[in-house]
Amino acid sequence: MKKIIVKWGGIFLILLVVNGCALLAERKPEEVVRQRSMDRWSALVEGKLETAFTYESPEYRELYTFSDFRKKIRGVGVWKKVDVENVECKEESCNVTTRIYIEMKAGLGFGNVKTNGPATEHWVRHTTGQWYHVSDQ
């Protein structure tokens, strides 16, 4: 009985290690940056600027306060959705092409205006290995 428990325990341990290695396998930069860009934009669309600020590089956050960041953000309330259309990476930097959907009141009795347009943003890999948005401040 003891041998069976040890045998199954060993098999379980091997499976656990193999699974753990698969989880730790490095994802492609394009995948990581696509997800981080979508998460950053979700925060911006939802007006969660504190969360969006965390996607800026540590160096940016040392130079500029959250208040500085908040002052430069234009679009909260009119952004309705953002799609990440393309991510191209070369070494330690990526360019992300997004499509931003907005809706705003035209005024003077006109209805809401809905439109969209492309935008490009830049991301870099920090020395910590994490990817950060590069703001044009």
Asked whether the predicted pLDDT for residue 109 surpasses 80, the reply is no
Residue 129's domain is classified under what CATH number?
3.10.450.50
Q: Average pLDDT, whole number, for the chain?
A: 86
Number of domains in the chain: 1
Which pLDDT value is given to residue 137?
Answer: 58
Check: CB of residue 99 under 8 Å from CB of residue 86.
no
Dist CA 110 CA 41 (whole Å):
29
Which pLDDT value is given to residue 98?
Answer: 98
Q: Does 22 reside within a domain?
A: no
End-to-end, the C-alpha distance of the chain in Å comes to 68
Which pLDDT value is given to residue 6?
Answer: 52
Q: Does 1 reside within a domain?
A: no
Which pLDDT value is given to residue 106?
Answer: 78
The domain in which residue 124 lies consists of 28-134
Q: Does 11 reside within a domain?
A: no
What φ, ψ does residue 59 adopt, rounded to 5°?
A: -65, -40
Q: Does 52 reside within a domain?
A: yes
Cβ within 8 Å of residue 126, ≥6 positions away? 57, 58, 132
Q: Does 73 reside within a domain?
A: yes
Q: Does 20 reside within a domain?
A: no
Cβ count near 37 (within 10 Å): 22
Which pLDDT value is given to residue 83?
Answer: 97
Q: Is the pTM of this model over 0.85?
A: no
Q: Does 110 reside within a domain?
A: yes
Check: CB of residue 84 under 8 Å from CB of residue 98.
yes
Asked whether the predicted pLDDT for residue 18 surpasses 80, the reply is no
